[in-house]
Structure 1
Amino acid sequence: MNNIHEDSVDFQSNSQEEKQQPSVQSVLSRGSQEEIKFTKGQAGQSHDECSTDLEDDIFTSSRRLNLSPAEVYLKACKQTGAVPVSYILRHLDDAILDLNYYGLGPLGAKALAILLKSHSVVTHLELKGNSLQAEGTQYLMAMLCENISIQSLNLSDNKLGLKGAEVISKMLSDNRKLKSINLSENDFSDAAAKCLAEALKNDFAVKELDLSYNRICDAGGEDLGVMLAENIGIEVLNLSWNHLLIRGNAALIAGLKVNTTLKQLQLSNSGFGRPVVQLLAEVLQKNDTLALLDLSINCVDDEAVRLLCQGLATNETLEVLKLSRNPITKIGALTLLRTVKNNMKSALEEIDISSVLVCETFVELLEETRVTRPALRLQYYILPSIAKNLLALGIFKKFFEEQNKSIMDFFQSLDKEGTMKVSTSAFRKAVKEANIPLDQRQLGWLVRKFDKNCTATIVYSQLTELS
């Protein structure tokens, strides 16, 4: 089995061992030597005799015998038929319990749930890729009804489906503790989204919800949009890599228009495009909470960027905007940058258009923008030859700075008649004779920059680039 930690222990009961539980130390020592062996009822298998009731007799005996958490866990494993995981025994005092890809299965989840029912140390529980299915999830949800410490839960990639979503929804209806839940990669459809949306309408505790990489379409997006309009707790919502398309995305943006708490909205690869951008622009004009918006890998083109900028022109809270892998050209990139530059109250600090091939004008405008916005970070794509050319002016300036000389003095030395201009040929010759480290291509670019009108003359007194 791929990506499984080799950290579980298989203990087989014989007639003598059935009377005596293995000691913690023996399990730990075996855990460092043995490979994983799954018994019946472990990863990917069900156990007909299992119920969602967590064994109360274990707690009764643990209190009577004053058992440690490790002993409670081993007793639970023996009673449920689960394979003990030595990693759990070694990390019982950790606030973060990382059990990603341990292949627990439904029975392993049950034993863990029995342990965590009264164990109040763990606050962050990672259970990605454990084939828990709906059955294993039932045990964990029953545990969460009594556990008062766990605030973050990762159940991604566990084959939960609709039944798993229904189980989680029942827990969320009464949730007052869980603040973050990751439910990505669980084959959730519109029906699953509807269950979760209904449960989250009145939930005030959950702050982060990840439903990415599922099969949620328009109908599910509409239900989640209604939820977003009514929920006053969620701050981070990830719906990337679903199939929301026009209706689903429009419903979410409509919900965002009413919502007053959402800070991060991730809709990467969700079918987001021009038809919904106009609505988003209207929301951004008035929204004062959203700080991160991810629209990467969608259908946002130059015209959609122009519409989006209608909202960005007055928005004062958005800090991160991700638009990579959209059909945006250098025209859209320039429109976006000009809007950010002109909005003096814009909070944007990071813009990702890393798939957009920009031009020299864009880079020059970015340098101008950074004069007043030094913290602004942009990811973009530029041809290596253009990037090298753009270094030419910096090299030219640095050469004279290192020599403690003035660029103006350099030009004046070429201007024997004091006309405040020199020929481009004289400039080329003087640069080469001064051994300024520019190659032929960079020198040609610098000449074109200084002689924008192609007059073969550089009017150096008007060169703002040298100030």
Structure 2
Amino acid sequence: MAPDIFNEQEWDTDLDDEEEGLDTGPPFRGLYRSICDKHGCHPNSYFVRHIEEKELRMKHRGFTKQESTALGEILRSIICVDTLDLEDNWLRNVGCKQLCKMLSDNDNIHEMDLSQNQLGMEAANHLSRMLKSNQSLQSLSLSANGFEDNIAAILAEALEDCRLKRLRLSKNQFGDRTGTILGSVLAANDYIEVLDVSWNMIRGAGTTILAKGLKENIRLRSLDLSWNGLGEKGGIALADALLVNSTLTELDISANRLNNNVAIKFAKVINSNDALQILRLNDNPISTSGAITLITALLNTSNHALEHLGLQGNPVEYEFLRTLRELQTERKVTVTYGTVLRSGNTTQDLGKPAIGPAGPTKPVLIMEENLIINNTKRLQELFTKYYITAAEKGMCNPEELIECLKIMSPGLNMKQLSSVVQSIPRNHHNLIPLRGLFESKDCKIPAR
């Protein structure tokens, strides 16, 4: 049953009675109240209720200077907190200072989110000193703080030797100078595994230096540079780095003005790199020929590790679909892409209709008379619920399969669906075997 939004008991906010139950339960409640009295502020009721939980997620609460000081002080004494999420609280420099002081004494917090807190240069200095001394913090998010290149320069030395495993710097105002700094960080740091610098302003020049650091790095697993404007120069530099780097498994460079020349370079990466598993090139001006170059490289390379290629927003042609079908009969690779153009680049494709963007998010697709089921687990659940006898026997009639597929994708063309299902091979009792539908995450059934 959905919660009653007009029932105040459904809400977990700071509007509750601040005095209720503060002296009962865990001893830290009394200590916290004493600290708040000392600093002249009210105890945060949400924090009081969750004071001994492993994860403290306190977003959008707008702490005052006194409240953030009290919070930092009490957290020095609490050893059970592992995750501290303080996104969007206007902590500013003063609040960040108190938290950094706390982290100098508390080695139990492993994950902290300080996104959207209006942090400035003073906060960056506190963070830098904290990162040099703290050996336990593993994940830090500083997204959406309006940071510019001068902040990256302050953090640079600490980041080169810090013990962080995950660092998120997205949605700031970092430019090419930060790209150069991150190149030095990647070359020196042996701990960072996940780096998110998406939604910044790093261009080709900064990416070129960053890529040089990536060549030397042996630890990074995931790099997100989407929405930066890397351009052809930056894209080619990253591709060249991946011809050397053998540890990165995920790269997102979506929406970076990458063209066909970059696609050709990444085709070479696919041919030689046996570590990269996820490559996202969504929303770049890569043409249909660039998309075919990439998918052909996947088809012709037997030792690649790629499991997902993202080309969402990029138009493709029917030749691309044929190559993709051939690829997916040989190995399990998911590929997302944009609109299939109305007329392809071969005579046999002229006059064929355009097909809208397709991908694994749609549970059922019909493409060129093929039935593609992208969520077979859901299909199995439906058979168990509505056609339990068929599920138990592992066989169903065409009508039962059609009904389940209609539930999964109500917008399917029923005439086309019926025609495709009727073409699926059956046994001599006119029944369709379900084993092939249920045994994998997704399934493609070619019509006879």
TM-score class, shorter: 0.7 to 0.9
Aligned to 2:284: 326
1:263 aligns with 2:221: yes
Give how far 1:399 is off: 3.4
Determine if contact 1:8/1:87 at 8 Å carries over to the other structure.
no
Compared with structure 1, are the counterparts of its residues 71 and 379 closer, same or farther at alpha carbon in structure 2 (3 Å cutoff)?
same
Partner of residue 367 from structure 2, selected from 381, 390, 402: 390
Compared with structure 1, are the counterparts of its residues 389 and 102 closer, same or farther at alpha carbon in structure 2 (3 Å cutoff)?
closer
Aligned to 2:422: 399
1:337 aligns with 2:295: yes
Partners in 2 of 1:67 and 1:79 — Cα distance?
20
1:352 aligns with 2:359: no
Q: How does 1:107-186 map to 2 (within 5 A)?
A: 107-186=66-145
Partner of residue 248 from structure 2, selected from 290, 296, 318: 290
Aligned to 1:190: 149
Compared with structure 1, are the counterparts of its residues 130 and 401 closer, same or farther at alpha carbon in structure 2 (3 Å cutoff)?
closer
Structure 1 portions without partners, runs of 5+: 12-21, 29-65, 406-464
Compared with structure 1, are the counterparts of its residues 335 and 105 closer, same or farther at alpha carbon in structure 2 (3 Å cutoff)?
farther
Aligned to 1:236: 194
RMSD: 2.5
Partners in 2 of 1:130 and 1:340 — Cα distance?
46
Partners in 2 of 1:27 and 1:351 — Cα distance?
56
Determine if contact 1:8/1:84 at 8 Å carries over to the other structure.
no
* Partner secondary structure for residue 355 of structure 1: coil
TM-score computed with the length of structure 1 as normaliser: 0.71
Determine if contact 1:148/1:177 at 8 Å carries over to the other structure.
yes
Partner of residue 319 from structure 2, selected from 361, 374, 397: 361
Compared with structure 1, are the counterparts of its residues 105 and 366 closer, same or farther at alpha carbon in structure 2 (3 Å cutoff)?
farther
* Partner secondary structure for residue 321 of structure 1: strand
Give how far 1:312 is off: 2.1
Aligned to 2:30: 71
Determine if contact 1:200/1:231 at 8 Å carries over to the other structure.
yes
Aligned to 1:213: 171
1:25 aligns with 2:21: yes
* Partner secondary structure for residue 336 of structure 2: strand
Please tell me the residue identity of whatever aligns with 1:25: G
Partners in 1 of 2:95 and 2:424 — Cα distance?
69
Partners in 2 of 1:393 and 1:133 — Cα distance?
56
TM-score computed with the length of structure 2 as normaliser: 0.74
Determine if contact 2:246/2:275 at 8 Å carries over to the other structure.
yes
Partner of residue 371 from structure 1, selected from 329, 336, 339: 329
Partners in 1 of 2:370 and 2:317 — Cα distance?
16
Q: In the TM superposition, what whole-angstrom CA distance separates every residue of 1:170-228 from its partner, at most 9, and x where no partner exists?
A: 1011120100000011111111001111111122x200001111111111221121111
Give how far 1:6 is off: 3.3
Q: Computing the radius of gyration over CA atoms, which structure comes out larger, 1 or 2?
A: 1
Partner of residue 7 from structure 1, selected from 11, 14, 29: 14
Partners in 2 of 1:290 and 1:220 — Cα distance?
20
Determine if contact 2:143/2:168 at 8 Å carries over to the other structure.
yes
* Partner secondary structure for residue 272 of structure 2: coil
Q: What is the total number of aligned residue pairs between the two structures?
A: 355
